[in-house]
Structure 1
């Protein structure tokens, strides 16, 4: 009996030893912009990290094998502009109220593993946001901290200059530097630059970028001054293809991109898509892209007002841009490695050896599809991305068709 037990232990140890990896994804086409990989590659995972990337990894080396034939393997997507400070407080808009959304229900199914809340909370209520959402989500949740202490509660609250304190904002950003990636200004409608200057001051104190939702100013403030004088290289101008009241559009009435836009992009200003429910119009996007003015980053501006409209999700936006002339490779880069750089989280957005095993398997569907903007217009396209599987730290968190599972009865 003792001999049999000893043999069983040895056999078990031998089997475990032979299986070096927890999981291997085989036969997929890897697109990893940081590492300049765009080819068929296998990827192995161990303890939540990328353990090997090579042309052939024997399936016998892993406890689980996922066949990715016909699929694209990409780093987990980073949605750099969303609103996920969901709660039930009435009349508080996006800050702990009904307009924000719980992240896990909207991320993994579209290949997103990291979502960045764009200023829903300010320094006064960030602790609540962290304890309520960030600490209880399987999605990695990062955040821009609103310069308004009470956060994005809408109306008069966001117009209160007395609640825009760079020092206190910087203190809370520094205390939560593991999850706060920048400072946000949005929705201010006054004629002065003071709120922007305070936002940049807070960003300078903590060495973080600022994200600006510019518009609604009566009278309009100069877009050229904002981009060439006020913002610093690395700062982010979101909703770049919007045409809203109180903001000068990037494309003029003749369909020409204003020349200082190219200059601003060249000096390092980041132009973020921020689709949202009212901030992406073909009237701006199509001529801009035709003239070579592409967004630096793709993001959703996810909230209840955008999730069921023209935006839908990150993959729908990427697909829309691809049908407007953007390559698949650029769409992936603008949703993975590029935003990782912009938010100063360069440990994310790639599948280098030792990197966190956040990744997605995407299928390119071919057919007849329609894509809408936020003013009720559509374009037609022939390709659309769909997420088959998402891994977060090496664990399957979304599997559309059960490709990670054994088939019943076999």
Structure 2
């Protein structure tokens, strides 16, 4: 469309003058983004401001397809202290699409749809738990996650009947479960994935504590090599940079030799950042060529402190035994800054939160792009230059010279400012 043609077109909104990066469309440059009726109408240079009812100057900002968080925990209340408010970690944090990882099960999916996904302003999808109980603070109640707590037929039926909402299956491969039940649970989860023809997202790194009898002969460093053959092209290995045993770096400090073979097989890697993310181990893995495909934030109530409303006591701040005590503020955009601080470029990180997760969800061309005609999901970021210290829970520090912060987003053309109380504030060192 030429600038002359734009005069005769009535756009509802024009985002003018930002750096637009859309990996799916091969766009990276200063462009204008026009929205009409909640959909992307045009992305091009020099759209006349008079052609739009409202013009927002985003010069100096980064304009991206709406961010996709592939690892959220937003089954609020039902998953206990894990579940966050969907819109707090979603549109109020600059994120337009959330994927709840294993909160709902085949039994609790109707509640997730009615009470979480439908009311949320953020697009909210799910990877269905392989376990009947879903995400019920399993580290407290590991026996709920035994093979007896998996119903393959019921889970396949629920997943395939709800494909508008369910885009994959969530499972765990970690030493606590292996010590109790061996490999059977992950075998069952892999079967659910095959029968439903959905990707399986596998948690690696210790989650449940060990039973009183110890590891029962299981070796944490053999879990990866035993699980990977069960998985298919498109399945996802999560938490590559965990500080817990059973991640991508073994006890000798070396990247598992099976990882490259897994990537060659078509398996994908999701950061699943969370609080067990280790800069120390991430540096080793990235140096060995392990660059994740997607960047889930893994924000939940045990690693992110939600301040109490004004005028009410903040129990988390006052009680050192409270599960939130001492925890930080966090966001998917902060996780993007983490990856850049490790040496990845902005151009490498943007696909991890746009086009790659859209592909993982089987929604390429529907979300994660600014292609004309799709729903206008757009994220606008500020990029701050300076010297910023980022710290993980091992107290390892990295220095970032660029820090990203959400300014606002559009979800289906509706604007939401980045006002979430969990957003970290940039403080230059």
Q: Which residue of 1 aligns with 2:14?
A: 24
SS of 2:104's partner is strand
Q: Does 1:270 align with 2:257?
A: no
Q: Which residue of 1 aligns with 2:169?
A: 183
- Alignment equivalent of 2:384, drawn from 352, 365, 377: 365
User: Shift of the alpha carbon at 1:84?
Assistant: 0.4
Flag the structure with larger Rg.
Answer: 1
- Alignment equivalent of 1:317, drawn from 335, 341, 355: 335
Q: Distance in 1 between matches of 2:292 and 2:164?
A: 27
- Alignment equivalent of 2:182, drawn from 192, 198, 204: 192
- Alignment equivalent of 2:150, drawn from 153, 164, 180: 164
Q: Distance in 1 between matches of 2:92 and 2:64?
A: 14
Q: Does 1:341 align with 2:348?
A: no
Deviations 1:274-301 (A, max 9, x none): 11122x1122101111232111111111
Contact 1:319 1:385 in 2 (8 A): yes
Contact 1:49 1:394 in 2 (8 A): yes
1:399–1:132 distance in 2 versus 1, CA, 3 Å: closer
Q: Which residue of 2 aligns with 1:13?
A: none
Contact 2:38 2:376 in 1 (8 A): yes
Deviations 1:99-129 (A, max 9, x none): 2111111222432100000001211111112
Q: Does 1:284 align with 2:291?
A: no
Unaligned runs of 5+ in 1: 1-16, 88-94, 401-410
Contact 1:18 1:60 in 2 (8 A): no
User: Shift of the alpha carbon at 1:269?
Assistant: 0.9
Q: Distance in 1 between matches of 2:114 and 2:71?
A: 20
Q: Distance in 2 between matches of 1:258 and 1:144?
A: 26
SS of 1:211's partner is strand
Which deviates more, 166-175 or 254-263? 254-263
Q: Distance in 1 between matches of 2:59 and 2:225?
A: 50
Q: Cα RMSD (Å) of the superposition?
A: 1.9
SS of 2:99's partner is strand
Q: Does 1:128 align with 2:111?
A: yes
User: Shift of the alpha carbon at 1:20?
Assistant: 1.3
Q: Which residue of 1 aligns with 2:309?
A: none
SS of 2:239's partner is coil
Deviations 1:52-105 (A, max 9, x none): 111121111111111111011101110001110011xxxxxxx43232111111
Q: Distance in 2 between matches of 1:50 and 1:359?
A: 9
Which deviates more, 215-224 or 180-189? 215-224
Contact 2:152 2:192 in 1 (8 A): yes
User: Shift of the alpha carbon at 1:238?
Assistant: 0.9
Unaligned runs of 5+ in 2: 1-6, 306-326, 420-429
Q: Which residue of 2 aligns with 1:83?
A: 73
Contact 2:76 2:84 in 1 (8 A): yes
SS of 1:297's partner is coil
1:399–1:277 distance in 2 versus 1, CA, 3 Å: closer
Q: Which residue of 2 aligns with 1:243?
A: 243
Q: Distance in 2 between matches of 1:250 and 1:106?
A: 27
Contact 2:106 2:128 in 1 (8 A): yes
Q: Distance in 2 between matches of 1:270 and 1:326?
A: 18
User: Shift of the alpha carbon at 1:263?
Assistant: 1.8
